[in-house]
């Protein structure tokens, strides 16, 4: 497995992001879906990385810069065929290393509050993320939980 910055020109990653958004629609009401669509992932304040094995896309993750000291983890997604193989752990490790290199003092994220999102929450907890109030432009939402990690 290797991780590289992704230009989002590969049809594979477009399909993975579409699958991510469709899954969010199944588990969250529209006003509680905070996953970024592909066009927003191409904005200047967002950097996306993909995990691959040869040409096969295993997963992706992104950092959105909120300020010079604060980044947000976005679009963490593992391809269905590669779930429970450590892809998300490797991606999150990479994103945290990148955040440190950028000089961020903390990184935060939003995730779902229902049982479906429990594996993601457990992953973030295992990396030392703590629950926190909404950050940035987020508002309190019974379907969302917010987490942060000091670097």
pLDDT digits (tens, 9 = 90+) for 97-138: 999 999 999 999 999 998 989 999 999 999 999 999 999 999
Decide if 77 contacts 117 (C-beta within 8 A): no
Beta bridge mates, 12: none
Environment class of 24 (CB within 10 Å of its CB; exposed 0-12, middle 13-18, buried 19+)? middle
Higher-pLDDT residue of 85 and 29 is 85
- Whether the predicted pLDDT of 25 surpasses 90: no
Decide if 92 contacts 52 (C-beta within 8 A): no
Give residue 11's pLDDT: 86
pTM value > 0.75:
yes
Q: What is the pLDDT of residues 27-84, one digit of tens each?
A: 887 788 888 888 889 999 999 999 999 989 999 999 999 999 999 999 999 999 999 8
Among 125, 91, 94, CA closest to 145: 125
Separation of alpha carbons 23 and 5, rounded Å:
24
């Amino acid at each position: 497995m290797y991780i590289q910055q992704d230009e989002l020109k590969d049809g594979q990653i477009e399909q993975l992001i579409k699958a991510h958004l469709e899954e969010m629609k199944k588990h969250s009401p529209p006003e509680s879906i905070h996953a970024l669509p592909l066009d927003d992932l191409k904005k200047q304040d967002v950097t996306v990385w993909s995990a691959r094995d040869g040409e096969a896309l295993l997963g992706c993750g992104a950092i959105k810069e909120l300020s010079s000291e604060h980044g947000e983890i976005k679009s963490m997604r593992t391809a269905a065929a590669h779930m429970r193989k450590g892809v998300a752990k490797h991606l999150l490790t990479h994103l945290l290393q990148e955040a440190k290199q950028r000089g961020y003092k903390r990184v935060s994220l939003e995730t779902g509050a229902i049982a479906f999102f429990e594996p993601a929450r457990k992953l973030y907890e295992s990396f030392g993320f703590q629950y926190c109030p909404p950050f940035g432009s987020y508002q309190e939402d019974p379907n969302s939980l917010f987490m942060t990690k000091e670097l």
